[in-house]
């Protein structure tokens, strides 16, 4: 679907034009003909710096908030290192990829996008995944998300999508949520958002942990080797703990019970020595092969399915140290997509070009001037030498008379570096074309990959997307907005999707006209197809009262900890509880301060007295019912099964492991599956 003049979107804009005749202008009063497309050399060419409307629009947007980030304000971060598996000299001259024995220091910041600094971690949202590599050639910032695509194709639309997603300006409601009129009004009028909407409404929008989510560079970049040969590259981060999510009910409850759930999880894991790890994988595309994919590589609303271009895992990221001071490091860190090193270069992605300007520009307001790279967290390990001596917030003290080039008073220093001496040289891409504001025809397919994503999901994942859309659009007050999303967006994605959502909203079901692409499904996109063979760092809530079976607890604890998991003992009150052997154990959490949604599984040991007491506690009954409804593993030994029965739960349901031979091994295997979606009676459980 085109968004140029004559398209459905253009017609809709005419329908809602201002009857007073007001025209869109710049701040200096110049009328604007097009605010959807940057000025480029040809429809697929580079964005031009002379585009004063783009620069003004982005500049004004970048400086709207002081001092909080306009987007990605809510974050958590950690230090660590990256280590390549092998030399990639055949692909890139970047030194970070040359020596597999070398560890490159990194600082990684995770974040939500829409909420303020005080919002909850678990809101449905995109998650930022930004990595600063302190390489010997200077800093390289790989600034990405946990979703491989974005809402828009051209950076000139970035202020619009964020303004629409943020709280509505007249009442500053709602916080950290897109379930409101302005966001879905924008979506309904901008069909290029369709693919990203599918990802955001999926379980990817509510990750279990920062440690258990993918990361993506989003854009197509270039690798350039020492011989000057360029190849296209897309970057992926793959967590070694697997990719796991929350369910929507958990996300909402966690926002109230522990708004810091994700940042606390990251901090505590590192403090305990459970260092989060990801592998860096790349998709390499030869320039000669790019056109054969049938995918526009310059379009940030598109991904390259792994079935077409497999992932090559090239190194490991390890986070092993928490920040010393949140403000000095996590808050003051400044990322920029334009921070690249020799061997890594840009493509003509118009969203990337705008980001290259925007990230640099926004620091002027947020960090008080042009010297933000001198702050300790931003300072490169590589030495810096230049003639930029002055400006606000200057930290280093330059010496000498000469602050210009060329000079003789300073001995000619600093000297230029040739490519052989490590100097950065842009790839000499040939560009031709007229200066126009236009999208190439190859950018006009907005629905095929949205449908590909939906069809690639498992049945439960599809149900979650449908339920998320029903929730979000159900919060929209204007019926015409809901109808436009259903009729002009969802109807072009999938017939089942549009039928279920329309019926859930009480709207007529439009005729579905799904757009198909080169491949119909991509199993790699489904979280259900990710590896699930580990319970490392998983937290298992244990319900106890006086008289619990000490042997049951001890045996299960030994098995869980050997597999890398952790037991958290929960009782009615803090203090201690006595086991059947007369020994007291310390309680970790009281029932009033926690809930099943904070744990990956639940264990109830035997012990007649303990279970009898738990059966009389509403919190304990609710705890197991809620975990059951959320499809988590439940393990019970001996009398522990009676608590499930008292809660109206089946002890033979999928994911429920009752006492018996090899209990520990079976319980661990059930936890590793993360969820047991095939509990057909879960919707009838009162939790």
112, with CB counted inside 10 A (0-12, 13-18, 19+), is buried
Asked if 556 contacts 603 with a C-beta cutoff of 8 angstroms, the reply is yes
Residue positions counted in the chain: 687
The answer to whether the peptide bond before residue 67 is cis (omega within 30 degrees of 0) is yes
Q: How far apart are CA 657 and CA 663, in angstroms?
A: 7
> Concatenated DSSP letters for 199-251?
HHHSGGGSBS-GGGS-EE--S-EEEE-TT--EEEEEEEEEETT---B--HHHH
CB within 8 A of 39, min separation 6: which ones? 47, 48, 50, 51, 53, 54, 435, 436, 437
Q: Which of 53, 79, 139, 145 is catalytic?
A: 145
Identify whether 373 is a catalytic site residue: no
Q: How many helices (H) and strands (E) does the chain have?
A: 17, 20
Q: How far apart are CA 74 and CA 86, in angstroms?
A: 35
CB within 8 A of 555, min separation 6: which ones? 664
Asked if 544 contacts 571 with a C-beta cutoff of 8 angstroms, the reply is yes
Sheet strand arrangement including 589-590: 589-590, 566-571, 539-543, 601-604, 633-636, 656-658
The backbone torsions φ and ψ at residue 488, rounded to the nearest 5 degrees and listed phi first, read -105, -15
CA atoms within 13 A on the CB side of 486: 27
The tokens 């409601």 sit on which residue? 173
Asked if 336 contacts 136 with a C-beta cutoff of 8 angstroms, the reply is no
Q: How far apart are CA 293 and CA 298, in angstroms?
A: 13
Q: Comparing C-alpha atoms, which of 505, 464, 523, 476 is closest to residue 205?
A: 464
Asked if 673 contacts 532 with a C-beta cutoff of 8 angstroms, the reply is yes
Please state the separation of Cα 293 from the chain's center in Å: 26
Tokens representing residue 191 in the block: 């069909």
Asked if 297 contacts 440 with a C-beta cutoff of 8 angstroms, the reply is no
> Concatenated DSSP letters for 614-638?
HHT-HHHHHHHHHHHHTT-EEEE-T
> Concatenated DSSP letters for 382-409?
S----S---STT--S---SS--SSS-ST
CA angle centred on 516, ends 514 and 522, rounded to 5°: 115
Beta strands 601-604; 539-543: pairing state: parallel
Look at residue 51 and give its three-state secondary structure: coil
Q: Which of 72, 195, 219, 674 is catalytic?
A: 72
Q: Tell me the chain's radius of gyration from C-alpha atoms.
A: 27
Q: How far apart are CA 444 and CA 513, in angstroms?
A: 16
DSSP helix, strand, coil percent of the chain (3-state; round to 5): 35, 15, 50
The tokens 């301060």 sit on which residue? 593
Asked if 237 contacts 127 with a C-beta cutoff of 8 angstroms, the reply is no
The backbone torsions φ and ψ at residue 660, rounded to the nearest 5 degrees and listed phi first, read 165, -170
Identify whether 145 is a catalytic site residue: yes
Residues annotated as catalytic are 72, 145
């Amino acid at each position: 679907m085109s968004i140029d003049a004559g398209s459905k979107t253009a017609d809709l804009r005419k329908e809602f034009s201002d009857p007073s005749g007001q025209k869109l202008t710049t701040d200096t009063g110049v009328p604007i003909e097009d605010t959807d497309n940057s000025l480029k050399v040809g429809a697929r060419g580079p964005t031009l710096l002379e585009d004063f409307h783009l620069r003004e629009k982005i500049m004004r947007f970048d400086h709207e908030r002081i001092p909080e980030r306009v987007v990605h304000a809510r974050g958590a971060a950690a230090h660590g290192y990256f280590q390549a598996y092998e030399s990639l000299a055949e692909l890139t001259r970047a030194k970070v990829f040359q020596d597999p024995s070398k560890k490159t220091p990194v600082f990684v910041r995770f974040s939500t996008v829409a909420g303020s600094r005080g919002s909850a971690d678990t809101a449905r949202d995109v998650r930022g995944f930004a990595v600063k590599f302190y390489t010997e050639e200077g800093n390289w910032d790989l600034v990405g998300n946990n979703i491989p695509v974005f809402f828009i194709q051209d950076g000139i639309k970035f202020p619009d999508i964020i303004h629409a997603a943020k709280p509505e300006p007249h009442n500053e409601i709602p916080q950290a949520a897109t379930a409101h009129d302005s966001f879905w009004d924008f979506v309904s009028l901008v069909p290029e958002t369709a693919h990203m909407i599918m990802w955001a409404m999926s379980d990817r929008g509510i990750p279990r942990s920062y440690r258990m989510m993918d990361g993506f560079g989003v854009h197509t970049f270039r690798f350039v080797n020492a011989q000057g040969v360029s190849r296209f590259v897309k970057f992926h981060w793959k967590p070694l703990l697997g990719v796991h999510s929350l369910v929507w009910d958990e996300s909402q409850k966690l926002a109230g019970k522990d708004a810091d759930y994700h940042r606390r999880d990251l901090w505590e894991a590192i403090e305990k020595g459970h260092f989060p790890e990801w592998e860096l994988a790349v998709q390499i595309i030869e320039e000669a092969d790019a056109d054969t994919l049938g995918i526009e590589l310059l379009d940030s609303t598109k991904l390259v399915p792994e079935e077409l271009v497999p992932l090559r895992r090239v190194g490991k990221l390890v986070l092993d140290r928490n920040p010393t001071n949140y403000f000095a490091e996590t808050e003051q860190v400044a990322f920029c997509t334009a921070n690249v090193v020799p061997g890594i270069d840009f493509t003509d992605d118009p969203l990337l070009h705008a980001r290259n300007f925007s990230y640099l520009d926004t620091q002027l307001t947020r960090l008080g001037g042009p010297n933000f790279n001198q702050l300790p967290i931003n300072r490169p390990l590589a030495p810096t030498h230049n003639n930029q001596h002055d400006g606000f917030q200057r930290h280093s003290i330059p010496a000498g008379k000469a602050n210009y080039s060329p000079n003789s008073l300073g001995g000619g220093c600093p000297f230029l570096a040739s490519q052989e001496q490590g100097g950065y040289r842009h790839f000499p891409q040939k560009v031709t074309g007229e200066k126009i504001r236009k999208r190439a025809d190859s950018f006009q397919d907005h629905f095929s990959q949205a449908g590909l994503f939906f069809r690639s999901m498992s049945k439960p994942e599809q149900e979650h997307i449908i339920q998320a859309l029903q929730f979000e659009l159900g919060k929209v007050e204007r019926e015409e907005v809901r109808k436009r999303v259903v009729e002009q967006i969802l109807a072009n994605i999938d017939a089942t999707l549009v039928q279920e959502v329309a019926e859930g909203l009480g709207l007529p079901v439009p005729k579905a006209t799904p757009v198909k692409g080169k491949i119909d499904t991509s199993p790699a996109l489904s979280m259900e197809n990710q590896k699930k063979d580990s319970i490392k760092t998983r937290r298992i809530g244990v319900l106890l009262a006086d008289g619990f079976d000490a042997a049951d607890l001890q045996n299960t604890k030994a098995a869980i900890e050997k597999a890398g998991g952790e037991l958290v003992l929960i009782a009615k009150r803090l203090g201690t509880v006595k086991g059947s052997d007369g020994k007291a154990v310390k309680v970790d959490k009281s029932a009033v301060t926690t809930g099943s949604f904070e744990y990956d599984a639940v264990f109830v040991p035997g012990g007649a007295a303990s279970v009898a007491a738990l059966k009389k506690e509403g919190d304990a009954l609710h705890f197991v019912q809620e975990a059951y409804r959320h499809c988590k593993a439940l393990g019970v030994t001996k009398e522990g099964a009676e608590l499930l029965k008292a809660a109206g739960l089946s002890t033979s349901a999928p994911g429920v492991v009752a006492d018996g031979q090899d209990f520990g091994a079976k319980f661990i295997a059930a936890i590793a599956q993360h969820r047991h979606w095939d509990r057909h009676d879960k919707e009838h459980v009162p939790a």
